[in-house]
Amino acid sequence: MSTGKQIEEMIRAVAAKDIRAAGGYHALSGGARKKVLEALDKNGLKALTQLIKESKRKSFKAADKRFLDIAKGDVATPVYLLDETLIEENMRIMRYVKDRTGCRVLHALKAYASFATFPVMRRYLDGVCASGLNEARLGREEFKKEVHTFAAAYSEKEIGQILRHSDVVIFNSFHQLRQYGPPARARGVEIGLRVNPGHSEVAAEMYNPCAPNSRLGVVYDVFKEEFQAHRKITDGLHFHAMCEQNSDVLERVLRSFEKLYGQYIRGLKWVNFGGGHHITRDDYDLERLIRLINAFKKRYGVQVYLEPGEASVLNAGVLVSTVLDVVKNKMEIAIMDASAEAHMPDVLIMPYRPHVLGSSQAGRKRYAYRLAGPSCLAGDVMGDYSFDRPLKRGDRLVFADMALYSIVKNTTFNGMNLPDIAVMRDGGRIYPVKRFGYRDYRNRQS
């Protein structure tokens, strides 16, 4: 079919609210997607957004069965299973935001760095954001697109290599900008400054980059005194103030950011809106994000970057674990071969109760269990759950949404083995990526 015909069909499908329009859109070339967007009016664009979201939601719903079927099979556990089809679904949403706004999207490596799936992610995103030397190098060597690095402070020992692996380096103080800005400039590396936007809505202080006395980002009182002297060497401003939030929060953060820094933006190359945008969550308001970015770009004539981490792999991976034993102490406690402390540390740090496929809150279904890890830590507990059937030793359970902030943060506490890593692609085939063993534990100790 000619591209012209494809576009015509697409537009008809959007008007008819036919969900196949989503797949049709994603399959088009960049040029054809642009033509579709130009041909749609405001309502048509809104309808397309809804169809794209609905199509993604359906894909994710279908995946639960895939994960459960695999858990029933003979896959060795514990294992992080990364579903490349779902990662690609998330990538499509990101690319749609790019298509509608012309913004650039970087993946935050701190959330997820399993480079086995980078070939798919690279097709959709513009690059990565890194938190220091190792992530910058991984981005350069494995993602092979733009690398933007930010650290709260850089060391003399590492800055040379960081500059070598970065296209953009973002400083957290005027002192470091003065010290390392000139060598960055000499190497052709762009220079950014992270500022505190003066507003955030993250309840947990631990995750609030703008909490009182935060070290992250130059505060306005310091900025207004010193920025003019560094204006010439600065290519962009960066802020990061959100955590797992919707675009209504971004709107309020932006309002505060612009009130403080708006007069300094014109003439810069870019502004980076940081991460914490839950772009790929079902209830995320994409239309508002698109409106905010387009209006910002128009107001200031700068490029906009987003650098989400979680959103790239949200709900796109699980941790499959086996019940090793069931013990009783006033309640039934299932001891798993995966540990909250070692293999899903955010469960204890945040804290949160991970969803287990097929389970409910304790008390809702007939058989209640506390799920716990095998380590010596008394608090190595995932949470209390209930099931339709009693759990038996050898049963497999699937902990949902375990691709993000898990593999990058896990440990070998108690000498525990790290879970295997496997990628699911081609409609459900499993490709083992990594198996860890004694040496991985030993090599970190001495």
CA distance 95 to 111: 19
CB of residue 271 vs ligand PLP: minimum separation in angstroms? 14
CB of residue 291 vs ligand PLP: minimum separation in angstroms? 20
Residue 7 vs 202, nearer CB to ligand PLP = 202
CB of residue 218 vs ligand PLP: minimum separation in angstroms? 14
Of the candidate residues 198, 236, 275, 354, the single one contacting ligand PLP (CB under 6 A): 275
CB of residue 285 vs ligand PLP: minimum separation in angstroms? 16
Of the candidate residues 33, 122, 240, 396, the single one contacting ligand PLP (CB under 6 A): 240
DSSP state of 206: G
Of the candidate residues 103, 159, 243, 391, the single one contacting ligand PLP (CB under 6 A): 243
218: β partners:
195
**Residue 274 near ligand PLP by CB under 6 A:** yes
Cis amide linkage into residue 351, ω under 30° from 0: yes
Q: Which residue is nearest to ligand PLP (CB)?
A: 275
Return the SS3 of 320: strand
CB atoms within 10 A of CB 164: 13
Among candidates 289, 320, 307, 313, which has minimal Cα distance to 76?
Answer: 320
**Residue 192 near ligand PLP by CB under 6 A:** no
The two structure tokens encoding residue 340: 């909250």
CA distance 366 to 351: 26
Residue 9 vs 244, nearer CB to ligand PLP = 244
The answer to whether the CB of 344 falls within 8 A of the CB of 102 is no
What is the 3-class SS of 356-424, one letter each residue? ECCCEECCCCCEEEEEECCCCCCCCEEEEEEECCCCCCCCEEEECCCCCCCCCCCCCHHHCCCCEEEEE
CB of residue 70 vs ligand PLP: minimum separation in angstroms? 26
- Can you give the C-alpha Rg of the chain in angstroms? 23
Return the SS3 of 44: helix
CB of residue 440 vs ligand PLP: minimum separation in angstroms? 25
CA distance 174 to 194: 10
Count Cβ atoms within 10 A of the Cβ of residue 276 and give its class: 0-12 exposed, 13-18 middle, 19 or more buried. Answer: buried
**Residue 217 near ligand PLP by CB under 6 A:** no
Tally of residues, the chain:
446
CB of residue 424 vs ligand PLP: minimum separation in angstroms? 22
CB atoms within 10 A of CB 207: 16
Residue 26 vs 110, nearer CB to ligand PLP = 110
Residue 276 vs 374, nearer CB to ligand PLP = 276
CB of residue 388 vs ligand PLP: minimum separation in angstroms? 34
**Residue 127 near ligand PLP by CB under 6 A:** no
CB of residue 112 vs ligand PLP: minimum separation in angstroms? 8
Among candidates 175, 169, 174, 166, which has minimal Cα distance to 138?
Answer: 166
| Binding residues with ligand PLP: total (CB under 6 A) | 15
Interface mask (CB under 6 A) for ligand PLP, residues 285-324, using x and -?
A: ----------------------xxxxx-------------
Backbone angles phi, psi at 286, to 5 degrees: -70, -40
**Residue 129 near ligand PLP by CB under 6 A:** yes
Kindly indicate which of the ranges 73-81, 181-189, 270-278, 393-401 contains the residues binding ligand PLP, using the contact rule CB under 6 A: 270-278
CB of residue 219 vs ligand PLP: minimum separation in angstroms? 16
**Residue 108 near ligand PLP by CB under 6 A:** yes
**Residue 197 near ligand PLP by CB under 6 A:** no
Residue 189 vs 313, nearer CB to ligand PLP = 313
**Residue 150 near ligand PLP by CB under 6 A:** yes
CA distance 395 to 334: 10
Contacts of 303 (CB under 8 A, 6+ apart): 102, 103, 104, 269, 270, 271, 297
**Residue 241 near ligand PLP by CB under 6 A:** no
Residue 129 vs 318, nearer CB to ligand PLP = 129
Residue 147 vs 311, nearer CB to ligand PLP = 311
Query: Which residues of this protein are in contact with ligand PLP, per CB under 6 A?
Result: 108, 110-111, 129, 150, 240, 243, 274-276, 307-311
